[in-house]
Amino acid sequence: MKLKYTKKQLDFGEYRAGRVIWIRTLKGESLVKLNVLDKDGVILYRVTELPGDTTYEIEEGYLTLEQLETIKDLISQNYPDFDREDEDEVDFMLGDFGRQIACCQWLAQDSKKSQQMIVDSVLYSTNDYIEDETFQTNYFEKGLTHDEVLKKYMAPKLIENSTFNALEVTISESGIVSIYQVTIEEVQDYD
C-alpha cells in the first residue's frame, strides 16, 4: 500500500491548565472544569463545560486583550477555519483550547508512569454536515517514531472509515506530548 498524507503539529504555547476537575454525569457525559494559566501560573480564565451539548462557560480572570489575541493566533494556526470575530465561536474555542491543554497534561503525567507510548486519536469530518466523532486510545511499545505510528496504525483507521476525512492524534511518551492533525491525500493499492 502506498499512502500519502499531510501532518501538521499543533501548538498551544506556554499555557497550562490548573485545578482540573473531570466530571462523569449520570448520562455518561465526560465534562471538565479548569483554569487556564499563563506560564507564570496566573489564572487567565475559567472553563466550565456545560452538559448536553458542546458549549463552554468562560469566566474571565486576568486575561488581557494581548493574551486573548495571542491565544486566538494559536487557535487560528491550529484551526485555520476559526472565525476570531464570532464571539460564540471564540468562547467555544477558548473552552476547547483549555480542554486540550488539560488532556495533554493528563497524558504527559500518565505516560511518565507507563512503559508504553499512549496515543489518543479522534476521527472526524471537516464537512459541516457531519458532526460525529470517534475517540480511541491505543498503547504501543516505546521506540516507534511518530511517523511510524501515524502511517502504520492511525492513517489506516482513517482510510477504513468512509464517514471521516481527518484525524487528530495526540502521542505521549515519557512525559512528552505531541499533537498532529492528519489528512489523507492519496491512497494506492489499499485492500
pTM (two decimals):
0.82
CA distance 85 to 90: 7
pLDDT beyond 90 at 70: yes
Note the pLDDT of residue 186.
62
Mean local confidence (pLDDT), 138-148: 90
Q: Are 107 and 118 in contact (CB under 8 A)?
A: yes
Q: 150-169 pLDDT, tens per residue?
A: 888 888 888 887 778 788 99
Pairing relationship of beta strands 133-141 and 116-124 according to DSSP bridges: antiparallel
Backbone angles phi, psi at 108, to 5 degrees: -60, -45
Q: 75-119 pLDDT, tens per residue?
A: 999 888 888 889 888 999 999 999 999 999 999 999 999 889 999
Note the pLDDT of residue 158.
80
